[in-house]
Amino acid sequence: MSRRIASTSAQELLTTESQIRAQLEGQPFDFDAMSAVSNIYRAGTAVRTHMERTVLGEHDLSWVAFTVLWVLWIWGKQETGHVADEAGITKGTLTGVIKTLVGQQLIRRTTHDDDRRRASLSLTPKGKTLITHLFPHFNQHEALAVSSLSLSEQRELARLLRKVTNSLNAETV
């Protein structure tokens, strides 16, 4: 697999942001918000791309498929609607992922006896084995991602991001 060479060096992000400010100088923009938001998006993309290329790619799992396995691992057998909410995807997307994961024999789909519109998902033994072995590896890469931050910085980062997500979700109704 050929990979795009990393386009950023240690100081490059900051330099680029300074150049942008210089280009927009004199205009009444909120430059601190601009910096914060662009770095949120960039870091989010970098996280997903990194995980897909390292931990997930080796096991033929998409990001969303991994998320579904993870939800079922943490929470156990769940109704599909709940899984979609937890994974942050639409029910239409989940239907596609279910087909893939059932085909890989990683999850099982069972319909309810009492309300036959409903269906639940759960890990198969094979699925449980996979996520049990995969997640520690995933978590090591999470640790790598924040390895340049102190423990208190990691916690502060999570706290600040929760506030941002909550602000945005409060708007979208």
Give me the residues that bind DNA (CB under 7 A), please.
1-4, 49, 62-65, 79-81, 88-100, 109, 114-120
- Would you count residue 52 as binding a second copy (CB under 8 A)? no
Near a second copy in 102-121, by CB under 8 A: none
Which of 119, 145 has the CB closer to a second copy?
Answer: 145
Q: What are the backbone angles phi and psi of residue 60, rounded to the nearest 5°?
A: 55, 40
- Would you count residue 45 as binding a second copy (CB under 8 A)? yes
Instruction: Tell me the closest approach of the beta carbon of residue 121 to a second copy, in angstroms.
Output: 17
Establish how many alpha carbons lie within 13 A of residue 99's alpha carbon, considering only the half-sphere containing its beta carbon. 5
Q: How many residues bind a second copy (CB under 8 A)?
A: 73
Region of 149 (left: φ > 0; alpha: ψ -120 to 50; beta: rest) is beta
Q: State how far the Cα of 75 lies from the Cα of 23, in Å rounded to an integer.
A: 49
DSSP assigned state of 57: G
Which of 5, 114 has the CB closer to a second copy?
Answer: 5
Which of 20, 119 has the CB closer to a second copy?
Answer: 20
Task: Write the CB contacts of 79 (distance below 8 Å, at least 6 apart in sequence).
Answer: 118, 119, 120, 121
**Residue from 88, 109, 118, 137 in contact with a second copy (CB under 8 A):** 88
